Structure 1
Amino acid sequence: MGHVIVIPYPAQGHVIPMMELSQRLVNQGVRVTFVNTEINHKFVTSTWTEKDSVKELMHMVSIPDGLDSWEDRSDLGKLTESILKTMPGKLEKLIETINNEGAHKVSCVIADGCAAWAVRVAKKIGTKRAVFWPSSVASLAPALSIRKLTDDGIIDNKGIPIKDQTIQLSPTMRPIKPSNLPWAFAGDVATTKAVFKISVDVAEAATMTEWITCNSANELEPAAFSIFSKILPIGPLLASNRLADQTGHFWQEDFTCLKWLDQNPVCSVIYIAFGSFTIFDQKQFDELALGLELSNKPFLWVVRPGMTKETTVSYPDGYMERIRTRGRIVSWAPQQKVLAHPSVACFLSHCGWNSTLEGVTNGVPFLCWPYISDQFSNQTYICDIWKNGMGFDKDEAGYITREEIKSKLEHLLSDETFKAKAMDLKEKTMSNVEDTGSSHKNLSLFIDWIKEKDTNINV
């Protein structure tokens, strides 16, 4: 049967797809111990209703990340340093306890690509190991190309871009700007150093595992998969579970917004959500709010706690009264169900990979507003390769104005080409998770490997 330890990087966008993978494993009879940090364990278990079908095979546990409960986990430098000092030893002790106390010994560790320390632990104790990359192959490619980027003089040994020139990792992949490298977005030296360290570890982990699986599909990224052939697409994992209740959320979903959607015409509502990490200053937040108002369209807007730099979120004077008949604002939404709703016309998104996949698998056109890291490469896919969406242009001061938001919304919703491209991409992507699809077959092979008894593990 197999007993797998699953370890995500401690961020919302990593936990959700690893929970999806875990449920696939449980459905095939594999026992799973899902390991969150203590603080994320509290978040996830407070929003998760355990289903009878997984009670016997899936167990949620936690280990400390080394920080006190009050410390700032958005400080990636501090968090990364603490994780590397604390979590490897705690994981090793957890596995030792499981193996000593029960009949179901750990047979495999599946680690998030950004949790390479867990791969090192698995190798140390002689356990089978695999890497799961929750994002696109395009976002993984720079980490796997660090040696080449350094040798070519594009970055220094700290990951800092030396040359201000576009980078092309292969002839068939789109060029990227040095400033859009996953570790170069940070702005401050400490965070850049931390994210670069994670990226270096990702490349190391790739050399220590037999399997590198990815939450993507061949049809979405053919150029990237042709270059990095060792990476096995098994997604989109969310695609075969689009209308089911999703697990792994840090905040409680507001399901009342679905009834509100029911009251709106087909393809009329603008859905706006920026994930768990995006932060706006007040001026940009106001421009977004007023741009939605100017659109004169019904909209559903997710405004989570902490989305602005101010202590509490504030709206322009009189705003809530003016938009009350056609605007709905919630703190967190059941996004898969929202995007599957027939009233939703488009998705104004930060372009995180989970959100990108959810929009793609529901055939919804995008307006792209990336914030950090891989979100910029995801925008490139949407705007330049798949052509199922558009981006925004900033003004001279670096802001996306209310007029720009209104203009792009009008363009996207009046041009039927975007919806046609979105529906075509949906059909191609969904075919991957059907019984005869390549991602479905790859996932089956991966699960078979997990279930195999292997007494000759290369330590």
Structure 2
Amino acid sequence: MAKAHVLVLPFPAQGHVTPLMELSHRLVDHGFEVTFVNSEVYHAQVVSALPAGGAAALGGIHLASIPDGLADYEDRKNISKLIESFSRHMPGHLERLVAEIEAAGRPRVKWLVGDVNMGWSFEVAKKLGIRVASFCPASAACLAIQLKTPKLIEEGLLDGKGWPERDETFQLAPGMPPLHTSQMPWNIAGAPDGQHIIFDLITRNNKLNDLAEMVVCNSFHEAEAGAFKLFPDILPIGPLFADPQFQKPVGHFLPEDERCLKWLDAQPDGSVVYVAFGSMAIFNPRQFEELAEGLELTGRPFLWVVRPDFTADLSKAWLHEFQQRIAGMGTIVSWCSQQQVLAHCAVACFVSHCGWNSTMEGVRNGVPFLCWPYFCDQFLNRSYITNVWRTGLAVSPGSDGIVTKEELRSKVEQVIGDGGIKERARLFMDAARWCTGEGGSSLKNFTKLVNLLSE
């Protein structure tokens, strides 16, 4: 007999869609019927980015969509604007979608597995008699900081709007990553005006999270022992991955360029610098050029993911000349299957924005990091990598905020040449794989989730 019908709802951003799509594949493997709900714009991108035959590889995940309330031309990388819009428009549309699913004769939706950042959907679910499980796509430490915000305000570290009252580095509990008060998870690069909207969302979600019967996250016990001791009710079920053969689509917004995998096959083991800054980071032309020339200076083969919107106003003549110079040495793609790249034996280190998905994917494959965070929880993840796990280093921007080509070259050499970093990265890889294997803590917690959703 088929198990319950589960509605899965991510926050509308790539870093939230991917782990929830990976979880959806795992739930389908366990017999659940899954309807995966994206915003309309991202739903269209996911569908168009599916590889040939990709719809079949979805394996029974039904893709659905609801409007986020923004016009097609509006900037969805403006997170505060996106939050303001979807908080007002999506609840009514989600109700309608559930009614349409039932009117079409499909099984009644019994559970919502909702992104912890979409707490409004928990209220909609309760109103419709749907049970709720909450999923945190960020680290347990990030969720812990959000849940402890009232205490941080009470202690005078933050004001009532999330701004720092004291200029200092704090640590919530032993074993947790130290974090400076200027780098809280709700800080947005270049858009401080919108910070209060994100902070208000977090404050609301802290209360709405009580509506969930279970809270799970894409992490593993050994990576965040301090956070899980502080909040034992947050259950790690990661690092999540859809399938060992990388055949199941995980909801990418851009088509993957598979040529880079053949290029990696031709490189020596442990030689390639892999560079990717996720789906949100934007570089100005000067920083882009410094990064490009820094990669060239390393003299090492590199694979660099440059999204179409990664930088603006770059000189086409400069880019053409650069590409001619590095032909044969480096390769640039607009998007790739990062899990496959990081699992490749040719990769020596990962120059990363430290989004949590990227962090878990690097850790699961034992890849050392060079950290270059952009915003939000990425500074916290950098702190894990450099201070707690010690599986990488961080770039140091100059007084003008620019990371120079010499700084990049120097840090890449330090990361690749450090035997201790490599060894610790290997130990964390082993721990991650043990946790998700037979008898491992993440697999046991995933089984708890399956049993709950089967009730």
TM-score of the two chains, using structure 2 as the length reference: 0.95
Residues 176 and 388, structure 2, Cα contact 8 Å, conserved in 1: no
Letter in 2 for 1:66: G
Deviation of 1:135 after TM superposition, in Å, equals: 1.3
Aligned residue identity for 1:121: V
> 1:23 corresponds to which letter in structure 2?
H
Q: What does residue 14 of structure 2 align with? A: 12
Gap regions ≥5 residues in structure 2: none
Aligned to 1:289: 292
* Paired amino acid for 1:178: T
Contact 1:7–1:111 under 8 Å retained in 2: yes
Relative distance call for 1:269 and 1:174 in structure 2 (3 A) is: closer
Secondary structure of the residue aligned to 1:272 is strand
Letter in 1 for 2:263: W
Q: Specify the alignment match of 1:32 in structure 2.
A: 34
Which secondary structure state, in structure 2, belongs to the residue aligned with residue 164 of structure 1? coil
1:10–1:332 CA distance, 2 compared to 1 (3 A): same
Secondary structure in 2 aligned to 1:210? Answer: coil
| Matched residue, 1:185 | 188
**Compared CA separation, residues 313 and 41, structure 1 to 2 (3 A):** farther
1: CA distance, partners of 2:274 / 2:245: 17
Q: Deviations over 1:315-342 (max 9, x none)?
A: 4572111110211011111111111111
Identity, % of aligned pairs? Answer: 45
CA distance in 1, matches of 2:413, 2:315: 31
**Partners in 1 of 2:78 and 2:451 — Cα distance?**
39
CA distance in structure 2 between the aligned counterparts of 1:290 and 1:180, rounded to whole angstroms: 28
- Residue aligned with 1:25, SS: helix
* Aligned equivalent of 1:455: none
- How far does residue 78 in structure 1 lie from its aligned partner after superposition? 1.8
Distance 2:37 2:104 in 1: 18
Matches within 5 A, 1:184-333: 184-238=187-241, 241=244, 243-310=246-313, 315=318, 318-333=321-336
Segment of structure 1 superposing worse, 177-186 or 248-257:
177-186
Distance 1:76 1:313 in 2: 29
Q: 1:456 aligns to what?
A: none
By how many angstroms is 1:397 displaced?
Answer: 1.7
In structure 1, list runs of 5 or more residues that go unmatched. Answer: 453-459
Contact 1:262 1:343 in 2 (8 A): yes
SS of match in other structure, 1:110: strand
Tell me the CA shift for residue 368 of structure 1: 0.6
Cα distance in 1, alignment partners of residues 192 and 367 from structure 2: 38
Provide the residue aligned with 1:41 in structure 2: 43
Question: 1:239 touches 1:361 (CA, 8 Å); kept in 2?
Answer: no
- Alignment deviations for residues 301-324 of structure 1 (CA, whole Å, 9 cap, x no partner): 111111113378774572111110
TM-score, length-scaled by structure 1:
0.94
Shift of 1:84: 1.1
In structure 1, what is the Cα distance between the partners aligned to 2:185 and 2:347?
Answer: 31
Aligned counterparts of 2:37 and 2:145: Cα–Cα separation in 1: 27
Pair 1:97–1:318, CA change in 2 (3 A): closer
Give secondary structure in 1 for the equivalent of 2:311: coil
User: How well do the aligned residues superpose, as a CA RMSD in angstroms?
Assistant: 1.8
Offset at 1:43? 0.7
**8 A Cα contact 2:114 2:134, kept in partner:** yes
Post-superposition CA distance 1:16-65 (Å, at most 9, x none) = 0000010111000100111000000001111224454754x321010001
Q: Are the aligned partners of 1:179 and 1:185 in contact in 2 as well (CA < 8 Å)?
A: no
Looking at structure 1, the residues matched to 11 and 196 of structure 2 have their Cα atoms a distance apart, in angstroms, of 17
8 Å contact 1:144–1:202 — kept in the other structure?
no
CA contact (8 A) 2:187 2:375 kept: no
Structure 2 counterpart of 1:176: 179
Q: What is the CA–CA distance in structure 1 between the aligned matches of 2:254 and 2:330, rounded to whole Å? A: 21
Aligned CA distance change for structure 1 residues 314 and 38 (closer, same or farther; 3 Å): farther
Whole-Å Cα distance in 1 between the matches of residues 317 and 124 of structure 2? 46
2:185 and 2:380 in contact (8 A); partners too:
no
Aligned equivalents of 1:314, 1:232: Cα separation in 2: 51
Give the match's secondary structure for 2:283: coil
What amino acid is the match of 2:5?
H
Partner residue, 1:344: 347
